[in-house]
Homo-oligomer: A and B are copies of this chain.
Amino acid sequence: MGYNYKIILQYEGTRYNGWQKQGNTENTIQGRLETVLFKMTGKQIEIHGSGRTDAGVHAMGQVANFHLPEYRKPEQITAYLNQYLPEDIAVLQTEQAPERFHSRLSAVGKVYRYQIRTWQKKDVFQRRFQYGFGKPLNVDAMKKAAGFLCGTHDFKSFCGNPKMKKSTIRTIRSVHVEQAPENGTVTFTFEGNGFLQYMARIMSGTLIETGSGERLPEELPRILEAKNRQMAGFTAPPEGLCLMEVQYKRASKNWRQQSL
């Protein structure tokens, strides 16, 4: 299997069709990375992401792993990738990982952030990283609604894939709802053991509908119980979403010893 490497990545998703390679389209984060890995090694190297971020979604701390047939120093891999990747994708760190480490299968948690502009005037500098809702939101109502999302539930109502065959049960450990005092930006921070397709965006859309008075916080338990996508709110647009962190049981360097 060669040498397994774990990388931590940042990207601005604005101009990409998301993480996952699709057919011939190379305009994905995975595609861009594999192109540079091919340039580096002369071989087709498959890179595994911790999850598929949607088109337009950003990452501050995406994690991926790949196997190289020959050993290379992690810092050389970081430097090579950063030299040839486009300016909106950056490798923060590369480290050697245990053979069994898999960025998706080994992950035990993720943190997503969703940012919303609540004032009317457009923001020229933050527009790529905020959903420009442009109206006030009731933070107390959203906090109350967010509380109902926490815990272990069947999140089928918050799953964008109607054909999902696997379990839709996930644990949301916390949802923080904050409003920046200086400009009113509302931020949701979701931490959970896993997220279904569009789940962070559907939870965000549902919270926004609660904050704007279209829904009551008390509706949330019924939405969960219904296990029906139609019951939840809209899928909030991708530009507000950012994958902040992927969590693993322990530092991957100790991981092999621990699993023996």
Give chain A's interface residues, CB within 8 Å of chain B: 10-12, 58, 60, 82, 87-90, 92, 121-125, 127, 129
Contact = CB atoms under 8 A, between A and B. Distances in A.
21 contacts: A10-B124, A10-B125, A11-B124, A12-B124, A12-B125, A58-B125, A60-B125, A82-B121, A82-B122, A87-B122, A87-B124, A87-B127, A88-B124, A88-B127, A89-B124, A90-B121, A90-B122, A90-B123, A90-B124, A92-B121, A125-B129
Contacts of A123: 90
A8 to B, nearest CB: 11
Contacts of A58: 125
A88 B121 CA distance: 12
A111 to B, nearest CB: 17
Contacts of A90: 121-124
Contacts of A127: 87-88
A10 B121 CA distance: 11
Contacts of A82: 121-122
Given A87-B122, A88-B127, A89-B124, 16 more contacts: A10-B124, A10-B125, A11-B124, A12-B124, A12-B125, A58-B125, A82-B121, A82-B122, A87-B124, A87-B127, A88-B124, A90-B121, A90-B122, A90-B123, A90-B124, A92-B121
Contacts of A129: 125
A20 to B, nearest CB: 19
Q: Which 10 A-B pairs have the closest CB atoms?
A: A10-B124, A90-B124, A90-B122, A12-B124, A88-B124, A87-B127, A11-B124, A90-B121, A82-B122, A12-B125
A153 B188 CA distance: 51
Residue among A90, A123, A124, A127 with most chain B CB within 10 A: A124
Nearest to A11: B124
Nearest to A93: B121
Contacts of A89: 124
A180 to B, nearest CB: 17
A186 to B, nearest CB: 19
Nearest to A242: B125
A12 to B, nearest CB: 5
A36 to B, nearest CB: 14
